[in-house]
């Protein structure tokens, strides 16, 4: 079968021939429909993040997949069920984090991430997976199912942020999403039902398709060239919730200044080392005197995939159509890895979904 892989020491994905996998006991065989591309994939390709499975010279890409059950192989699934795989796998048998259904909380060394580090991904015509790592989704969502994983990332961060405010009465009204990439835009749509006023900050100048999407969702675009993060409270309002999806390290600390009293910031970016100066005294004082919180969040668990399915089912086809700027077949897969101002979210299509 065909797969898309990046070979060690190279910096672009290629189509490669792999044997079709055989499901082991407890595993189902899945025919891949679509696999999304995100910033992590670009980091994997450039070599700044992730790595091939031990003893192999390449990594099959892709961690945002949707497929249909081809062979249930005595798992609870039926042929034709539409499923989304979770990303983390236990490296050496199970460990306590996987046993609890919280692989997203496993520390370094206690997980592989399919398509990212230590385990092949889903960019292949078929993949196998233990049934416990497959989440069934409604067939109506098959087309957009590759968005379940990125939305689940937002769901987890939102859940942890809310938990951090659960010791007191918290009725958030305003949210600021830092970053107008695909995760930022999906988060604007996800938070739509929770917040009265949503802002999304980016570096783009008008006209720009992401700004159009932000405004079509009823949110306010904040141009960071005109309004840096620390100026947001004065220019707009202090924010009850800030969701950082940029990987731009100064934003992690500026978030403290953008928050309203009792607010919380969720950090999701994964920057490289970068030394810079902050007014640490002022930030520390502000953090304490106004009961602020920051939570870091990575990956997602099974329940976040479930929450993401709920959210995805609420998104309008207009929004999804605007967000997904390209779905490319194997003959054209390079286009799915484009990273320019007209590309928002892309996927590689391995096979079309046909309703039974």
Give the CA-trace dihedral at 176, 177, 178, 181, to 10 degrees.
-160
Q: Say how many CA atoms lie within 13 Å of 82 toward its Cβ.
A: 21
What is the SS3 assignment for 85? strand
Kindly state whether residue 295 participates in binding its own copies, applying the rule CB under 8 A: yes
Q: Is 76 in the site for its own copies (CB under 8 A)?
A: no
- Binding-site member from 2, 51, 287, 330 for its own copies (CB under 8 A): 287
Under the binding rule (CB under 8 A), the answer on residue 42 touching its own copies is no
Work out whether 274 is an interface residue with its own copies (CB under 8 A). yes
Listed residue (186, 213, 177, 200) closest to 300, CA to CA: 186
DSSP code of residue 124: B
Give least dist CB 273 to its own copies, A.
5
Report 112-171 residues binding its own copies (CB under 8 A). 159-160, 162-169
Distance CA 88, CA 112 (A): 6
234 lies in the binding site for its own copies (CB under 8 A):
no
267 binds its own copies, rule: CB under 8 A: yes
Contact 132, 305 (CB under 8 A): no
Pick one of 25, 55, 93, 107: the residue that binds its own copies (CB under 8 A): 107
The reply to whether 173 sits near its own copies by the rule CB under 8 A is: no
**Chosen residue from 43, 56, 102, 136 binding its own copies by CB under 8 A:** 102
Q: Does 16 bind its own copies (CB under 8 A)?
A: no
Query: Structure tokens of 249?
Result: 């390290």
Instruction: Tell me whether residue 73 is annotated as binding.
Output: no
User: In whole angstroms, what is the distance from residue 300 CA to residue 247 CA?
Assistant: 18
**Is 135 one of the annotated binding-site residues?**
no
Q: What are phi and psi of 86, to 5 degrees?
A: -75, 170
- Which positions lie near its own copies, rule CB under 8 A? 100, 102, 104-105, 107-108, 159-160, 162-169, 247, 249-250, 252-253, 260-262, 267-298, 301
């Amino acid at each position: 079968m065909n797969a898309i892989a990046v070979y060690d020491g190279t910096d672009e994905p290629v189509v490669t021939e792999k044997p079709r996998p055989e499901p082991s006991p407890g595993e189902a065989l899945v025919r891949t429909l679509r696999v999304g591309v995100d910033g992590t994939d670009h980091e994997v390709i450039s070599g700044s993040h992730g790595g091939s499975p031990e003893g192999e010279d390449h990594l099959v890409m892709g961690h945002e997949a949707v497929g249909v059950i081809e062979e249930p192989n005595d798992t609870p699934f039926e042929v034709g069920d539409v499923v989304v795989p979770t990303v983390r796998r236990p490296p050496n048998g199970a460990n306590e984090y996987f046993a609890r259904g919280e692989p997203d909380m496993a520390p370094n060394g206690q997980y592989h991430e399919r398509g990212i580090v230590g385990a092949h991904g889903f960019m292949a015509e078929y993949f196998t997976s233990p049934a416990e790592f497959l989440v069934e989704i409604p067939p109506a969502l098959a087309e957009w199912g590759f968005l379940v994983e990125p939305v689940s990332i937002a769901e987890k961060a939102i859940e942890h942020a809310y938990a951090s405010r659960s010791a007191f009465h918290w009725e958030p009204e305003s949210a600021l999403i830092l970053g107008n990439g695909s995760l930022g835009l999906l988060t604007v749509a996800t938070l739509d039902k929770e917040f009265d006023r949503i802002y999304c900050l980016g570096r783009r100048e008008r006209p720009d398709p992401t700004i159009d999407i932000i405004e079509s969702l009823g949110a306010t675009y904040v141009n960071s060239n005109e309004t840096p993060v620390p100026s947001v409270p004065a220019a707009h309002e202090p924010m009850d919730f800030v969701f950082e999806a940029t990987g731009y390290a100064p934003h992690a600390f500026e978030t403290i200044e953008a928050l309203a009293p009792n607010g919380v910031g969720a950090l999701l970016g994964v920057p490289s080392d970068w030394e810079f100066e902050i007014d640490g005294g002022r930030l520390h004082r502000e953090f304490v005197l106004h009961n602020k919180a920051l939570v870091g969040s990575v990956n997602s668990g099974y329940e976040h995939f479930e929450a993401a399915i709920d959210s995805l089912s609420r998104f309008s086809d207009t929004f999804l159509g605007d967000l997904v700027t390209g779905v490319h077949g194997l003959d054209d897969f390079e286009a799915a890895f484009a990273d320019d101002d007209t590309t928002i979210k892309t996927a590689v299509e391995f096979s079309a979904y046909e309703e039974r």
